[in-house]
Amino acid sequence: MYKKNKKIIAFKMNNKLIRLLLFEDNPGDVRLIREQLIGVHDRFELHCAESLAKGLDFLDTNNIDAVLLDLELPDSHGLNTIKLVLAKNSSLPIIVLTGLDDENIAVDAVRCGAQDYLIKGSAGVTMLSKIIRYAIERKNAEKELKSSLEKLSRALSSTVKAMAMTVEIRDPYTAGHQKRTSNLARAIAEEMHLDSQRIEGVQLAGMIHDIGKISIPAEILGKPCLLSSLELSLIKVHPQIGHDILKEIDFPWPIAQTVLQHHERLDGSGYPAGLKNDEVILEAKILAVADVVEAITSHRPYRPALGIKKAIAEINREQGTLYDHVVVESCLKLFQDKNYLF
Ligand SMILES: [Fe+2]
């Protein structure tokens, strides 16, 4: 670290001193930037590190508002320098200060998470000061937006859980079925390497996939013997009812469609529409397998639990005819290679 870097260049901006860490191994450039920052309004506290390692160490024990980053350091080169600083602290605004006048690298740097990309010496005194303050404000706005989205996502999850409870309270025999199905559907989606957003949608659809059973008389749901054909046809309405309940909610996932199709089968033998193959969306294909495996392994009012071996035999036998083979392979891997437990 440079000896002089403790010098505080103080100025009241919103009554707050802005603490900067400059990663720069060229003493001439350090001097230039320090003079620029002094020249404005004395509002910055500037610390310097001549290598990536020393800067990252400094971040361990010091609060910093923004980083000025040379991409070419003795121990780090190019965009990787940005990634390593963000790996240390992802909430730091980073302004790249470099000699590399390359538009493509500038765009890539911003994609990597830098707030701005400046060519050394290109920004005047006032401009550099503004760029730093704007970078900090943008990063703060980004943090607030992320936190609001997280809150919204938590609220959405809680709402879906509350909806799940409404059907399980009326139907204690399948209480927990939706949750266990949802967890298995998520694990299958992860095993298939779907993107994280899609995985979340599969999980949430699983949590409420039987919500349409709210319309079925409780005595039918809890009947301790096999159902008559009339009762079965009443039960078969639940995907459509579930869809109708959910279709007006503007989820960022195809939840209503997944719920509607979770009893469809690839050969057209399912319900309510008798859809075939790719007419069934992937989310519903995943949910169908998770639903069947959970149902076979659980106790039902009219029969005891049949066990995981029966469930595995069923999806193995029917893969490609009733169930999607990629989904089935992923589900089998979970139970046979990864010791998945409900
Ligand atoms: Fe169902």
For the chain, the average pLDDT equals 89
**pLDDT > 70 fraction of the chain, expressed in percent and rounded:** 93
Residues 26-68: tens digit of each pLDDT: 999 999 898 888 766 658 899 999 999 999 999 999 999 999 9
Judged against a pLDDT cut of 90, whether residue 327 lies above it is answered with yes
Separation of alpha carbons 48 and 58, rounded Å: 9
How many helices (H) does the chain have, and how many strands (E)? 14, 5
Q: Which of 25, 30, 121, 141 is nearest to 73 (CA)?
A: 25
Chain mean position to CA 295: 28
Cα of 177 from ligand 1 centre, angstroms: 10
Distance 210 CA to ligand 1 centre (A): 5
CA–centroid distance, residue 48 to ligand 1 (Å): 62
pLDDT for 72: 93
Structure tokens of 233? 């046809």
Ligand 1 mean position, distance from CA 160 (Å): 16
Those residues with Cβ within 8 angstroms of residue 102's Cβ, 6 or more apart along the chain or in another chain: none
Angle between helix 125-170 and helix 196-207 axes, rounded to 10 deg: 30
pLDDT, position 10 = 39
* 316 has pLDDT over 80: yes
Predicted confidence (pLDDT) per residue in 155-208, tens digit: 888 888 888 888 888 777 667 899 999 999 999 999 999 999 999 999 999 999
Q: 278 alpha carbon to ligand 1 midpoint, in Å?
A: 20
Judged against a pLDDT cut of 50, whether residue 8 lies above it is answered with no
Q: How far is C-alpha 273 from the chain's CA centre?
A: 32
Centroid of chain to Cα 142: 16
pLDDT of res. 3? 43
Q: Residue 242 Cα, ligand 1 centroid: separation in angstroms?
A: 9
Q: How is domain 3-143 classified at the CATH fold level?
A: Rossmann fold (3.40.50)
Residue the block writes with tokens 């990787």: 80
Residue range(s) occupied by CATH 1.10.3210.10 in the chain? 171-336
Instruction: Kindly report the number of other CB atoms within 10 A of residue 90's CB atom.
Output: 9
User: How many Å apart are CA 167 and CA 80, to the nearest integer?
Assistant: 51
pLDDT at 68: 96
CATH class of 171-336: mainly alpha
pLDDT band for 15, please (50, 70, 90 cuts). Answer: low
d(CA 266, CA 275): 7
Q: Where in the chain is the domain with CATH 3.40.50.2300?
A: 3-143
CA of 239 to the centre of ligand 1 (A): 7
- 199 alpha carbon to ligand 1 midpoint, in Å? 19
